[in-house]
Amino acid sequence: MIKKYILPIVLIASSIFIISCSDGGKFKIQKGKVGHLTTKTTIQELTHIFENDSIVKNLSEGALGDNFFQDDDEYLIFEKGGKHMLTIIPKEQLDSVSTIKSVEIHDARFNSETSLNINSSFSEINVNNKINRVETTLTSATLFLDDLNTTIAIDKEELGLRDFTTQKVTLEQIPDLAKMKSFIVWFN
């Protein structure tokens, strides 16, 4: 008689375990989506989406302010315990119904279907993703991945180049072990 009930109990228990262990896409990166954030998510929804985390608001002074060095609002998302996960920039400053312009990834748990995350080396990025172009700034090389609508910056020090040079960087010049400086998903 006990054998009759064991199989259903095991199936129900394992189903509950699988459902409770899944993150529900909380850390998935796709084009126009980072975790539970989408192109339609508004700034006022952040408190609900990250209700178990901390949000630090670094607001600009808008058009009336005199701080010329901060032009964008920033919403820094910290996990309980202090780990910085994301930095969210809205499209419109000082507007709670604005949608998201970009999300900078700071936590390696956020990854794409190709396992792209903040800890990926250049060889992992290059093998698993299509790099559409490279632009060079004074301090870094920026890789553009149109499939995910992301930009990845690699510091010139990782490339063996001096900062503040205008030397153009090609994909062939980037060492396989070069690490990311920043990883930004754009929502435009």
Indicate the SS3 state at residue 138.
Answer: coil
Global pTM value: 0.82
Residues in contact with 156: Cβ distance below 8 Å, sequence separation at least 6, in sequence order = 139, 140, 141, 162, 163, 165, 169
Whether 4 maps to a domain, the answer reads no
Residues in contact with 110: Cβ distance below 8 Å, sequence separation at least 6, in sequence order = 27, 28, 29, 34, 35, 85, 86, 117, 118
Residue-number span of the structural domain to which 62 is assigned: 29-186
The predicted structure's pLDDT at residue 68:
57
Whether 8 maps to a domain, the answer reads no
Whether 12 maps to a domain, the answer reads no
What residues in the chain have per-residue pLDDT under 70? 1-24, 62-70
Whether 122 maps to a domain, the answer reads yes
Whether 35 maps to a domain, the answer reads yes
The predicted structure's pLDDT at residue 69:
59
Whether 125 maps to a domain, the answer reads yes
Whether 77 maps to a domain, the answer reads yes
The CATH number assigned to the domain holding 129 equals: 2.60.460.10
The predicted structure's pLDDT at residue 17:
44
Q: What is the DSSP letter of 183?
A: E
Residues in contact with 136: Cβ distance below 8 Å, sequence separation at least 6, in sequence order = 142, 166, 167, 168, 169
The total number of structural domains in the chain stands at 1
pLDDT, tens digit, for every residue of 26-81?
999 999 999 999 999 999 999 999 999 999 999 887 655 555 555 789 999 999 88
